[in-house]
């Protein structure tokens, strides 16, 4: 049945086919078709606009028009059907890995995956095994309702901390869900993090940032996102990493 409701509209003149919007649509409504982003079916689009902030050209907007009602069950079935297809459609072929089950369009390297770490090898004097339990890790590539966010201990880390802090994997990766980004180059994460806090059910939040002033933005975005989410059961723990690898602070109440 068609009703008048909010839905995504794409300006094809502005769309450059980059695919950045595709991973943000957890319902699979967006695909890159013949070099342009398109809404596959109206009933797959919930009209909430999680994809809006990902478009570098401003080609996406929410409008009201007559459209099929949003059908969450059909949308999830469609996403599942696309994830069972090993061959990605478009995007960056060098990043394609069938095990990641990417959605159609965009960059296959952003396809969600969870990894079983229960059988990680003990320390035998060789290289330490990875503790990362999911993919992707970039803030803008993780849908707010990603399965690995549910009930997780969430670490929101500035990119540079993983290189500067020698114990980053041991302390901040094992058994946790990690989201990473650079507030200086990526822009403001507050809206995306608000959606994460609102929909994911994360149980704790730790922000790990560098001591440099430009890194303050990631902590501020987390605080504003938490305020906008309406959740009053979370506090943000902030950890500051020095440029020479020292942990300068920890356990600070951030909100």
Give pLDDT tens digits for 160-210.
Answer: 999 999 999 999 998 999 999 998 888 789 999 999 999 888 999 999 999
Which helix (H) or strand (E) segment holds residue 251: the answer is strand 247-253
Phi, then psi, of 104 in degrees rounded to 5: -65, 140
With a CB cutoff of 8 Å and minimum separation 6, the contacts of 189 are 139, 140, 181, 183, 218, 221, 222, 225
- Give yes or no for residue 158 having a pLDDT over 50: yes
Domain formed by 2-95, architecture = 2-Layer Sandwich (3.30)
Q: CA 112 to CA 19: how far, in whole Å?
A: 16
pTM of structure: 0.57
Output b/e per residue, 167-193; b: 16+ Cβ within 10 A: ebbebbbeebbbbbbbbbebeebbbbb
Is-contact 197 226, C-beta < 8 A? yes
- Give yes or no for residue 254 having a pLDDT over 80: no
Q: How many CB atoms lie within 10 A of CB 116?
A: 7
Residues of the chain with CATH 3.30.70.20: 2-95
Mean pLDDT check: name the lowest of 67-81, 118-132, 191-205.
Answer: 118-132
Which structure tokens are listed for 174? 């094992």
What pLDDT does 253 receive?
Answer: 37
Mean pLDDT check: name the lowest of 39-53, 104-118, 222-236.
Answer: 104-118
Residues of the chain with CATH 3.40.50: 112-117+129-253
Is-contact 108 96, C-beta < 8 A? yes
Q: CA 14 to CA 9: how far, in whole Å?
A: 12
Closest of 178, 176, 186, 245 to residue 210, by C-alpha:
245
CATH class of 112-117+129-253: alpha beta
Q: CA 56 to CA 76: how far, in whole Å?
A: 27
Q: CA 54 to CA 56: how far, in whole Å?
A: 6
């Amino acid at each position: 049945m068609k009703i008048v409701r909010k839905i995504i509209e794409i300006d094809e003149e502005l769309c450059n086919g980059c695919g950045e919007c595709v991973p943000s649509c957890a319902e699979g409504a967006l695909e890159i078709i013949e070099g342009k982003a398109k809404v596959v079916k109206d009933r797959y689009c919930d009209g909430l606009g999680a994809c809006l902030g990902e478009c570098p050209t401003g080609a996406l907007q929410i409008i009201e028009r007559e459209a099929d009602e949003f059908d969450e069950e059909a949308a999830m079935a469609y996403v599942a059907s696309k994830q069972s297809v090993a061959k990605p459609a478009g995007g960056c072929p060098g990043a394609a890995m069938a095990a990641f089950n990417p959605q159609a369009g965009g960059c296959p390297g952003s396809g969600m995956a969870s990894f079983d770490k229960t059988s990680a090898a003990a320390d035998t004097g060789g290289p330490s095994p990875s503790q990362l339990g999911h993919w992707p890790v970039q803030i803008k590539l993780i849908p707010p309702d990603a399965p690995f966010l549910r009930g997780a201990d969430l670490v929101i880390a500035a990119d540079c901390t993983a290189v500067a802090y020698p114990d980053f994997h041991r302390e901040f990766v094992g058994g946790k869900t990690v989201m990473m980004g650079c507030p200086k180059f990526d822009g403001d994460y507050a809206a995306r993090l608000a959606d994460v806090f609102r929909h994911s059910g994360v149980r704790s939040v730790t922000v790990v940032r560098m001591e440099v002033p430009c890194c303050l933005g990631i902590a501020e975005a987390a605080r504003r996102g938490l305020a906008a989410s309406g959740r009053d059961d979370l506090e943000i723990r902030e950890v500051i990493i020095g440029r020479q690898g020292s942990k300068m602070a920890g356990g600070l109440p951030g909100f």
